[in-house]
Amino acid sequence: MLKLEVLNTAFKGKQFRVKAGLKIGSGPDCQIRAQADGMQEVHVRFYDDGPRHMVEIASDKAHLFVNGKDVMRGEIRHNDQITVGPLKLKVIDDAKVSQSALRLDQLMADFEAHSGDEVYDFAKEDLFYLSTKDPQLRQTVSFVIPSKDKFIDQSQVFLARLVKQSGMDESKIDAFMTCAKELILNAHRHGHKYDESKKIVLRYRDLGDKLSLSIEDQGAGFDHGAVIDAMKKKDAAQAARERYQAGGFGGLGFKMITNMADTLAYNDSGNTVTYTVNKKEPE
């Protein structure tokens, strides 16, 4: 089932089922209505072309943008972005999000189960020493670091020590630590714009057959869904160049992370990411 999720206005978050005959416009016959200059009484309408879900303009004065392109009609797919007048909408295919949503639920359930854990101040407390004295800290530990190169480097050394003590395969250690490095640096570079007054919270979990790390920054977040979708549709090098020019998330690093992590999930705003890597290579 396809749905449209409103991304802006007072109806942000509201979802509408996509079905033949659905109309967007300013008139009373439209299921989704908005008032704005240039908004036609019936601006766009949706219809089915066999198995394909389609959208088209319903007036020669109307404009419809799908993924930033001004079109008269086109097929809509999961994660497409649609702009109709003042409305920005995202296409969601329930069949494609069910598995990732389940993974997110599992990750967030673990995150919430430990959300009350003590968060250590890495700059003031010697976690290297504490983790040798308290075995529990090798299984579950949360700590905050200043968004500075020195502490980012030291935190990775600490995480690498925990990972090597976990019984993880060497090749999987490389995958876990590569993801950690890329995502922590992205929090510093893109989330904080190199603002060293901000902090990054890291939550490490040994879940038995896999390891999990959550990275939370104090930035405004980003549209992670659009980045993932663009990466899938484009060559990674091209995506990296475009994101770099826009001052955003690098496509090459992001593609590497999605290839190495077994699960990857962001919160709604995009300023917290949680990933897992299985300890063992599949047999």
For 91-107, how does the pLDDT look when each residue is reduced to its tens digit (9 = 90+)? Answer: 988 776 544 444 555 55
Positive or negative CA dihedral for 57, 62, 66, 71? positive
As to burial, measured by CB atoms within 10 angstroms (0-12 exposed, 13-18 middle, 19+ buried), residue 136 is exposed
Distance CA 39, CA 62 (A): 7
**pLDDT at residue 10 in the model:** 75
Q: What number is the average pLDDT over the span 197-203?
A: 95
Task: Give percent of the chain with pLDDT exceeding 90.
Answer: 57
Delimiting residues of CATH 2.60.200.20 domain(s) in the chain: 2-95
* 114-278 classified as CATH 3.30.565.10: yes
Distance CA 233, CA 248 (A): 17
pTM for this structure?
A: 0.56
Distance CA 54, CA 47 (A): 5
**pLDDT at residue 243 in the model:** 47
Which H helix or E strand runs over 28?
none
Q: Could you tell me which residue, 108 or 66, shows the higher pLDDT?
A: 66
Is pLDDT of 269 > 60?
yes
Q: What number is the average pLDDT over the span 28-56?
A: 94
What is the residue type of 166? S
CATH of 2-95, one of 3.10.450.50, 2.60.200.20, 2.40.50.180, 2.40.160.20: 2.60.200.20
Which H helix or E strand runs over 260?
helix 251-260
Task: Give percent of the chain with pLDDT exceeding 70.
Answer: 81
Distance CA 264, CA 179 (A): 10
**pLDDT at residue 185 in the model:** 93
What is the residue type of 257? I
Delimiting residues of CATH 3.30.565.10 domain(s) in the chain: 114-278
